Amino acid sequence: MPRKERLTEPGLYHIINRGVERRVIYLEPEDYEFFLNLLLKLSKDYEITVHAFCLMSNHYHLLLETKHNNLSKAIQFLNDK
């Protein structure tokens, strides 16, 4: 049975993503910088405001505000790199 479509209404969202089996996802300091550059590009390209973020060794938290119905596509962009 397919999953329900994700909510994409404009608004504030707390996003969390963790590494598989809670493994480390940022191996080098440059990995954090790469992720932050992707987050900046996401903010510009998808017109999403980043209110807060926390990058941990094996996961991240984001507080995002969307103006359009594009949250799913934006997070897909972020996680596919």
What mean pLDDT comes out for the span 15-31? 94
**Average pLDDT value for residue range 26-44:** 96
H/E run at residue 73? helix 71-79
The answer to whether residue 6 scores a pLDDT higher than 90 is no
Q: What is the pLDDT of residues 36-68, one digit of tens each?
A: 999 999 999 999 999 999 999 999 999 999 999
First-to-last CA distance in the chain? 28
As a whole number of angstroms, the distance between CA 20 and CA 36 comes to 20
The CB-based long-range contact list for 25-29 (8 Å cut-off, 24+ gap) reads: 25/57, 25/58, 25/59, 25/60, 26/55, 26/57
Give me the CATH topology for the region 11-79. Alpha-Beta Plaits (3.30.70)
Share of the chain above pLDDT 90, in %: 84
**pLDDT for residue 71:** 93
Mean pLDDT of the chain: 93
Residue 2 has pLDDT above 80, yes or no: no
Mean pLDDT of 9-28: 93
